[in-house]
Amino acid sequence: MKWADIKEKLRWCAYLASEAYNMPYRSTVARAKREQDDLFMLLIFSEMMGIPNPATYYTLELQPIMLERFHDWHTRMGMEHSPLDGFRCC
Amino acid sequence: MSAIVLAVIGLVAISSGYFFYSKFIAEKIYQLDPDFETPAHTMRDDVDYIPTHRIVLWGHHFTAVAGAAPIIGPAIAVIWGWLPAFIWVIGGTIFFAGVHDFGAIWASVRNRGTSVGSFSGDVVSPRARTLFMIVIFFLLLMVNAVFAVAISDALVASPSAVIPVWSAIAVAIVIGVLIYKVGVPILWPTVIGTIILYVVIYVGDRVPVELPEVFLGLGAAPQWIVILFAYALVASLLPVWLLLQPRDYINGIQLIIGLGLLFGAVFIANPTIVAPAFNTNVPEGTPPLIPLLFVTIACGAISGFHGLVASGTTAKQLNKETDARFVGYLGSSGEGLLALVTIIAVTAGFASLAEWEATYTAFGTTGIATFVAGGSTIIAAGTGLPVEFAATLLAVMAVLFAGTTMDAGVRLQRYIIQEWGTIYKIPTLQNGYIATFLAVGACLALAFGAGGSDGQGGMSIWPLFGTTNQLLAGLTLLVISIMLVKLRRRYIFTLVPMVFVTIMAFLAALYQLWDLFTSQQYVLVGLDILIVIAAIFVLLEATSAFFREKRAAAAPSG
């Protein structure tokens, strides 16, 4: 038997083993992952749906650090005032 | 008689069953179509529905159905002699279990991959669906109690298995973390984990662990039961990738190594069967063979639990409809082989008939420990391994099987309780922790009510568990038969097994009612009454649905 054949056989074994490992719990793990993703999406799009985003409140802590850069940014973007409700500027 | 003869007859019969009978069923009855687009393709979502290689599916079906039950059942049932158990295991595997598992996959594939219970509402009647739910609930309740009692007995009988059994949990967690969090390719953790497990078995063999004889008023076996349920409580709340998934995987490897070792040893050592073919000298108090044999051996001959596996997961992942025969029929044949080798271990693993009779002194007192005692003698004779090491190895194997079933059972029961919370709008029940506590509490109470509290290891609940399992099998076969009637195909090959197992389960439940009542086990009497009622409803439902469909099929269409 050639080396390449042995490698091919080993690869097949590894495929079978990983399928045997993952297959019975694939849906459970995928479902848990999907639930996390769903929560993440909800956070991202919450303001679009009128739900206050809790992350906004916590970003207030960044205000002192970001303030100067933020002011430059919104004036460059052609906005006189801060466009964000949770992040006031001028 | 030589054990090789029995092994060869069994192997040839089961292989013929696969090559000839299942081919006939596949072509003429279920009429599998290689061009039929399975739900794995038509409904593919890469979560539940995903086409999977048939060898992987077969491995899953085989390892999911072959656990501790096909070991315990035959280890109890050879009390009537080896021949009745042998005939029921071989005949059951060929004509009952194979057709049932294979049929459950086929029926589910033809019903969008949903579980038999859920589509029975459409195929038979909404009442059938309710019956399914009730029987499944009983089955889960008993599965956890029965396996807790079985494991505690085994740990008391084999103190050398204690360290390996609990170390296996640590090995599983390390494998889980390595594969899931670190992303190590699977082959290395598999090889190293298996080696470590066998090293720990060696260590356990040297360092046996025994619990104090009495602690807080509890004997050693009841102490184990409490510890096991405390573990099951924690385990069922952990994420599956951390414990359950690697544990199942390790068990699969153990199963294949154990089966290979046992059959190899039988062929090398050629032990003699010392037990009688028909035991005319059964111990006092042994129930009659008919109907009790057919519920004592459930898994290994036919088991309704398989239908849950087949239609719940397997059918959603079947790549081609023609794979159903390979996956379902051959998967259940694998379990038949485990039951076969158990029969050989518990009848040929003893030195003489007197020694065998000294072990089988009463019905229901044998089980994993008997399998370990007999099997280890055969392995020692066949491979030259020390008999103590072989005994530890087999005890660890059997306890791990039962342990994983318990983990999964508690988790499933927790889901059912949470679902009730949602249906009946009781927020307390929807809480995962409360639901788990309730599930564990109910099973613990049943385990103690089922002979676990006195530490005598009475498995009086075992035949009740088998009865429920057979009722579930009967329900699944009923659904398949009705589908065949609707398709105007021959239904005799599923209807006869259905009628047989349901009637046997019904008679067994009636017999046990009397037996449990006279032995004053009132918790089990209550449970048995509920099972008798469920059995009556299954029979009524089957009769009415069958004749209704037959009339409908006979009426000219159009």
- Exposure letters B11-47 (e unless 16+ CB within 10 A, then b): bebbeebbeebbeebbeebbebeeeeebbbeeeeeee
Domain span at B75:
3-554
Q: What percent of chain B has pLDDT over 70?
A: 98
What residues in B contact A38, CB-CB < 8 Å? none
Specify whether A64 is located in the same domain as A41: no
Minimum distance, in Å, between the CA of residue B556 and any CA atom of chain A: 44
Q: Look at residues B12, B30, B31, B11 and name the one whose alpha carbon lies nearest to residue B99.
A: B30
* Cβ(B140)–Cβ(B232) below 8 Å: no
A63-67, B193-197, B201-205: range with lowest mean pLDDT: A63-67
- Using the predicted structure, report yes or no on whether residue B385 has a pLDDT greater than 90: yes
Q: What is the pLDDT of residue B452?
A: 56
Question: What band does B340 get if pLDDT is binned at 50, 70 and 90?
Answer: very high
- Using the predicted structure, report yes or no on whether residue B455 has a pLDDT greater than 70: no
Asked if B53 has any chain A CB less than 8 Å from its own CB, the reply is yes
The interface pTM score, or ipTM, of the predicted complex is 0.79
Number of domains comprising chain A: 2
- Using the predicted structure, report yes or no on whether residue B449 has a pLDDT greater than 80: no
Asked if A36 has any chain B CB less than 8 Å from its own CB, the reply is no
What residues in A contact B55, CB-CB < 8 Å? 16
Specify whether A34 is located in the same domain as A74: no
**Using one digit for the tens of pLDDT, what is the confidence trace for B467-526?**
999 999 999 999 999 999 999 999 999 999 999 999 999 999 999 999 889 888 888 898
Taking the C-alpha atoms of A67, A73, A77 and A82 in order, what is their torsion angle to the nearest 10 degrees?
-10
Give me the residues of chain A with pLDDT under 70, please. 86
**Using one digit for the tens of pLDDT, what is the confidence trace for B63-79?**
888 889 999 999 999 99
Once rounded to an integer, what is the mean pLDDT over residues B366-385?
A: 94
Specify whether A3 is located in the same domain as A32: yes
Q: What percent of chain B has pLDDT over 90?
A: 58
**Which residue's structure tokens are 């096909």?**
B70
Number of Cβ pairs < 8 A linking chain A and chain B: 56
Are A25 and B55 a contacting pair at CB < 8 A? no
Specify whether A85 is located in the same domain as A56: yes
- Using the predicted structure, report yes or no on whether residue B456 has a pLDDT greater than 70: no
Specify whether A33 is located in the same domain as A56: no
Which of A10, A23, A32 is opposite residue B56, by nearest beta carbon?
Answer: A23
Minimum distance, in Å, between the CA of residue A22 and any CA atom of chain B: 8
Q: What percent of chain A has pLDDT over 90?
A: 3
Question: Which residues have a Cβ under 8 Å from the Cβ of B359 and sit 6 or more positions away?
Answer: B350, B366, B370, B373
- Among chain A residues, the shortest Cα distance to B316 is held by A27
Are A26 and B56 a contacting pair at CB < 8 A? no
Minimum distance, in Å, between the CA of residue B209 and any CA atom of chain A: 32
Are A19 and B56 a contacting pair at CB < 8 A? yes
**Using one digit for the tens of pLDDT, what is the confidence trace for B223-280?**
999 999 999 888 888 888 898 899 889 988 988 999 999 999 999 999 999 999 999 9
What residues in B contact A17, CB-CB < 8 Å? 186-187, 190
Domain span at A34:
1-45
Question: What band does B376 get if pLDDT is binned at 50, 70 and 90?
Answer: very high
Residue B523 belongs to domain with CATH number: 1.10.4160
**Using one digit for the tens of pLDDT, what is the confidence trace for B396-418?**
999 998 888 888 888 888 888 88
- Using the predicted structure, report yes or no on whether residue B457 has a pLDDT greater than 50: no
Number of domains comprising chain B: 1
User: What does pTM read for this prediction?
Assistant: 0.89
Asked if B423 has any chain A CB less than 8 Å from its own CB, the reply is no
